Amino acid sequence: MFEKTAVLAGGTTLPSDLYRLSEVYSNTSGVLRPAEKITLKELNQRRQTKLSGPTSDHPIYTQAGAGIKVYSKASPTVSTILTAAVSCHYIKRPADVIWGYVIVNEQAMYDSGQTTNFELHQSEETNLVIKILELAGIVLNKPGLVQLAGQEEVHIEAIQKQ
């Protein structure tokens, strides 16, 4: 649900909803090739050697903030920064939840047109329901609900540790 693929604008700008970058690809000559992530220090060292420098078959990239630079070898002596045909595979950040409402007769009324719902992975739905029940039990002063939710949470943690 949160895994996305994007073509990078100008070959350098990462998506605005990026949470974690998985892979960066260079599309040269119609062939999609994964790029290797390196630091700026490693880039300077690799540029000085013919064996480990960037090539069109083995592109490399560096990341700085919300941008990247993908390097490929254009000729035996020059490495270039690719600004086209660069894409990435990433995990996106969930959208912010917005509780939409309008005021009618001094009361808040739900408005689905202004609402952004939770984006949850299916594996998190059970945990969310358990937490809601736990909180509802605390608010309603029903110790049985709180105890049941606590037992269910312990049971899930025990299963995950196996």
Write out pLDDT tens, residues 76-89.
555 677 767 888 99
Helix H or strand E segment including 33: strand 31-34
Quickly tell me which residue has 């709180």 as its tokens: 146
Local structure of residue 112 (DSSP, 8 states): G
Across the strands, what pairs with 116? 98
Alpha carbon dihedral 23, 89, 67, 52, in 10-degree steps, equals: 20
Which pLDDT band, with edges at 50, 70 and 90, does 4 fall under?
very high
Determine the Cα–Cα distance for residues 69 and 62; give it in Å rounded to an integer.
5
Pick the range with the lowest mean pLDDT from 18-32, 107-121, 131-145, 146-160: 131-145
Please report, for the chain, the start and end positions of each structural domain, with discontinuous segments joined by +: 3-92, 122-162
What pLDDT does 91 receive?
92
What pLDDT does 12 receive?
82
Write out pLDDT tens, residues 37-74.
988 888 888 777 777 778 778 888 888 877 888 888 76
Determine the Cα–Cα distance for residues 56 and 155; give it in Å rounded to an integer.
52
Q: Cβ distance 72 to 47 under 8 Å?
A: no
Quickly tell me which residue has 């070898």 as its tokens: 73
Q: Cβ distance 92 to 2 under 8 Å?
A: yes
Summary mean pLDDT of the chain: 82
Quickly tell me which residue has 């949160």 as its tokens: 2
Residue type, 103: I
Higher pLDDT, 18 or 80: 18
Write out pLDDT tens, residues 86-100.
889 999 998 888 989
Among 81-85, 106-110, 146-150, 151-155, the range of highest mean pLDDT: 106-110
Across the strands, what pairs with 6? 88
